[in-house]
Amino acid sequence: MRIAINTGGGDAPGLNAAIRAATLAALKRGWEVFGIKNGYGSIYTDEPFIKLDAEAVHGITLQGGTILGTANRGNPFDMPYQKDDGSWDTRDVSDQLIETFREHEIDALVAIGGDGSMSIASRLIKKGLNVVGVPKTIDNDIFNCDVSLGFDTAIDIATGALDRITTTAASHHRIMAVEVMGRYAGWIALYAGIASSADVVLIPEIPFSYDTIVEKIEEREESGQQYTMIVVAEGAKKKDGELVTKGKTVGQQVQLGGIAKQVADELSERTGKESRSVVLGHLQRGGSPSTYDRLISLRYGAAAIRCVQQRDYNKLVVLQDNELTRIPITSIEGKMKSVPLDSDTVQTARDIGICLGD
Ligand SMILES: Nc1ncnc2c1ncn2[C@@H]1O[C@H](COP(=O)(O)OP(=O)(O)OP(=O)(O)O)[C@@H](O)[C@H]1O
Ligand SMILES: O=P(O)(O)OC[C@H]1O[C@](O)(CO)[C@@H](O)[C@@H]1O
Ligand SMILES: [Mg+2]
């Protein structure tokens, strides 16, 4: 058996642990293991696959990033290229990819990635590739998957940062609006917001109103709290408002960001209080994975190899109700997991007095 492993989309803490577990579990079965560099990037080069052995994955469980490199631009069905006139367009190079897998006699691909990576995998499956998926994304937005690798570390980092920003907010009697990642889902904002005792948490699932936030700030002032901590998901928007974006590069998703600054400025204007905005950004994806992420990544990586061994292809290994199970990759194509508004976590936020902006 010859398998290939790749990592796609934004990097996340735990990727290396998943690569290590998948590699070691495959080597243990006497298989050959290859890595694809930079998403699918190396496929179109002279060295499409690099050999992975025990030495290559030694000591990487605790390392951030991915030893294989990753890409969130270079979808084989939507590959950017520069035209003769210098402008950019995209084209479908998936047949070339499938052919390269065939030429190198790769029996299966272990694709470690987020919703976007699984959408690519779904389309490759339909073209005949055997794929097993491992769920990765700090955004935690993969449909029917309770937890993706990277999320735990991201909320840990965000919580720590929010704790620190709280002490300076309190000292200066300021409104602080802190923007966290998560794309169109509010998982990071909600979890880190609750854990850090934020006063206001704005998530994409609940469009917000400035009047409600101002009421909360005034209520706090009246009770002697002269500062307000606001966690803003990058995908949050006001009622009847638009997503705040920074533009788009050909072949890449739209870049989100800028909403926290808008919130801070508008609230200053309305309350007369001083405000600042902070964007946590890529800090949330960097560095060593938490213990939980190391373990879930190792479990996911090894589970993917058991899937391949049983020729149970085209499955994504996922955690559901604390059990490792498998779901068809094609079943989650084009879907995402939002924060359910009736969840106990949302209810907890409301019960302890966090304003969700509605
Ligand atoms: N292996 C890959 N090579 C190139 N591009 C990829 C690859 N996997 C995913 N992408 C692209 O990257 C983007 C994000 O992918 P995905 O949703 O899997 O990652 P993520 O962890 O959610 O991170 P993010 O969406 O923020 O980059 C999508 O536009 C997708 O098309
Ligand atoms: O690394 P980039 O291209 O800035 O991507 C940022 C995006 O990736 C993520 O970090 C992970 O999906 C999102 O939360 C964020 O919108
Ligand atoms: Mg994604």
pLDDT tens per residue, range 306-333: 999 999 999 999 999 999 999 999 999 9
For residue 137 the two structure tokens come to 């994304």
Residue 221 CA to residue 225 CA, distance in Å, equals 5
Spatial contact of 13 and 181, defined as CB atoms under 8 Å apart:
no
* pTM score over 0.95: yes
Spatial contact of 346 and 190, defined as CB atoms under 8 Å apart:
yes
Question: In this predicted model, what pLDDT tens digit does every residue of 250-281 receive, in sequence order?
Answer: 999 999 999 999 999 999 999 999 999 999 99
- Beta bridge partner(s), residue 35: 5, 50
Looking at residue 94, its amino acid is: S
Cα(139) to ligand 2 centroid in Å equals 8
The DSSP symbol for 339 reads: P
Ligand at minimal distance from the CA of 113 is: 1
Sequence-distant (≥ 6) Cβ neighbours of residue 352 within 8 angstroms: 194
Range 94-119 burial, b when 16+ CB lie within 10 A, else e: beebbebbeeeebbbbbbbbbbbbbb
Mean pLDDT of 215-244: 97
Looking at residue 173, its amino acid is: H
Tokens 């951030």 correspond to what residue? 64
Atom from ligand 2 closest to the CA of residue 255: 16
Q: Is residue 3 classed as helix, strand or coil in its secondary structure?
A: strand
Domains of the chain from N-terminus onward = 2-149+289-332 (3.40.50.450), 153-286 (3.40.50.460)
Residues known to be catalytic: 139
Cα(68) to ligand 3 centroid in Å equals 18
